[in-house]
Each structure stands twice: as C-alpha cells, then as structure tokens.
Amino acid sequence: MKHICIIGVGLIGGSLALALKEHSAVQRVTGCGRNEGSLNKAIELGVIDDFNTDPAEAVKDCDVVVLAVPMGSMQTLLEQIKPVLKADTVITDVGSAKSSLLDAATEVFGELPEGLVPGHPIAGNENSGVEAAMVDLYQGRRVILTPHKQTSSRALELVKNMWETCGAEVKQMDAGLHDHILAATSHLPHLLAFSLVRELANSPHHDDIFRYAAGGLRDFTRIAESDPVMWRDICLSNKDAILAAVDRYREELDRLQAVVETSDGDSMHSMFSEAHDARAHFRRLLDARERES
C-alpha cells in the first residue's frame, strides 16, 4: 500500500498504523478525526504522517480507507467520502457489528461496492485514545473478515495481507454469523459488566462494596470502563442478536435462581461443574493458540 487513511486514530486505528509502519507495509498514513489535538499527538507519537479533519479531503488519492469509528458514524462517513473515492479504493472497517455496515453501505452506494471488505479485529482493551496504541496489539490475535458477494478478490486479498502483516490470524465468515457469535462472546459480557457495576454503584453500601471488592469483581467488571459511546452504538447496530443472547442468558439465570431458592444443592453442583469443565476446555484452547503464535 502506498497511502492509507485511518478515520479514527484511537487504540484500534492507531495500533494498526503503528504495526503497518513498523513492517514498512505502507508509505504514508493519513489520519482523520474531529479532535486536532489528538491528531497532533498522533503525529508526535509517529502513529500517522499527516491528518485532515475533513474526511472527504483525508481520503483523496488513498489506496485503502479504514473506518475506525463508532458504528453510529459509519453511514455518515460513507456519505461524506463517496464523491471523492477512487474507483479502486478499498474500504474496510474495524467495527464489532457487520450486518449494519453492509446495510449502511447499500443505503449510500445503492449497491455494495466491490472494494468494501468489512472487518473486525478481535483485539483491544478498556483503554482508548491514540496514547493507548500498541505496535503489537494484533500479534497472534484474530481478525474476522466478512466479504459480501460483490467483494473483489483483489480487495479481499489486500485487506487480508494488511492484517497478516500486523501479525493477526485472519478468518472469514458470513456477516450474520459474525454478529450472532460476537453478541454472545463480546457484546453480552460487556452488557453484564455495565449493568452489574451500575447496580452496585446504586447500592446504599456502594463505598464498602468497592472498597472490599475481591479480584473476581475487578476481573469481571474491568470491561465496564470501555468507551460508552462505542458500546451504545454496538448495541444499536447489533440489537437483534444481542437481544437473543440476553434472552438465552435470562433463561439460564432463571434456572440458577430456581435451584438456589429451593436449596437444590445437587442441581447447583451439576450446573457449576458443567461451567467449570467448559471454562477449563476454553482455557486449554486459548493456551494452545498462544503457544502456536
């Protein structure tokens, strides 16, 4: 790639830029965003080479445009950059919901562009901002691409190579399947963390609760420090899949409540044992992946 524009130079977009520059995979990185202070900081940190706060100006003459913004901003950005995109410009994103991006692109372009390659890096943490960007954030992590029927092989290969250059393991799947999997594995856990922290914070004993909190609460609720704007947009963009995941979890919680109310120790032990064994299996899979990477 000669010239890439990253719209949204925070943890995810900034880490992508750092990794590509580290491996000399791009000649020029242009940043785009609304906060000039943050963009100037990105230049100071060597994350980007230049910037423009106008998306239409920022993407001119770019080979690749990466949308690294909250899901609610995707359609507006596509509308802004559409008139100036080159015919062969590749567009990809880092959003946590894929079907909504396809809907937005169809609305803007009339049909899905062959250069559009929806993507989602399964990486990140509760930190945000360009100062949190890490050159090795994607090393050994998975990136899911959800190409559509019109996606060109050239665009798909370019985006695949981009992520592999950053050290990521690239997988492909249907956009709808992606949204249902992520609703269960990422979106639901974040909702649970947000709701638990909110419930504890509204308790009349909240100071003592947080003062004496053990490691389990800290580990489980860490993700409640994630960006509220980003997670609001994720919930709005993947509403149906998230609601289905919430319904399944509510059913499981009802079963647990019932065995506790009836002091059914045998059922409790059975339920906890199933969860224990499933988590141990999951941990072994993660350990094996880390050894391979």
Residues 19 and 110 in one domain: yes
Query: Is the per-residue pLDDT at 290 higher than 80?
Result: no
Residue 178: name the closest of 93, 262, 113, 257 by CA: 93
Residues 131 and 25 in one domain: yes
Q: Write down the mean pLDDT value for the chain.
A: 93
**What is the per-residue pLDDT across 96-117, written as a single tens digit (0 to 9) for each?**
999 999 999 999 999 999 999 9
Q: CA neighbours within 13 Å on the CB side: how many for 21?
A: 21
Question: Any alpha helices (H) in 10-118, and if so which ranges?
Answer: 11-22, 36-44, 55-58, 74-81, 99-109
Residues 144 and 244 in one domain: no
Angle between helices 175-182 and 99-109 (to 10 degrees): 140
In CATH, what number is assigned to the domain containing residue 19? Answer: 3.40.50.720
Q: Would you say residue 288 lies in a domain?
A: no
Residues 154 and 192 in one domain: no
CA distance linking residue 16 with residue 51, whole number of Å = 16
Residues 219 and 248 in one domain: yes
**pLDDT at position 293:** 61
Q: Output the six-digit token pair for 156.
A: 């798909």
Q: Would you say residue 14 lies in a domain?
A: yes
**What is the per-residue pLDDT across 165-218, written as a single tens digit (0 to 9) for each?**
999 999 999 999 999 999 999 999 999 999 999 999 998 888 877 777 777 888
* Structural domain of 100: 3-173
Cβ atoms of 9 and 128 within 8 Å: the answer is: no
Q: Is the pTM of this model over 0.85?
A: yes
**What is the per-residue pLDDT across 6-64, written as a single tens digit (0 to 9) for each?**
999 999 999 999 999 999 999 999 999 999 999 999 999 999 999 999 999 999 999 99
Q: Would you say residue 255 lies in a domain?
A: yes
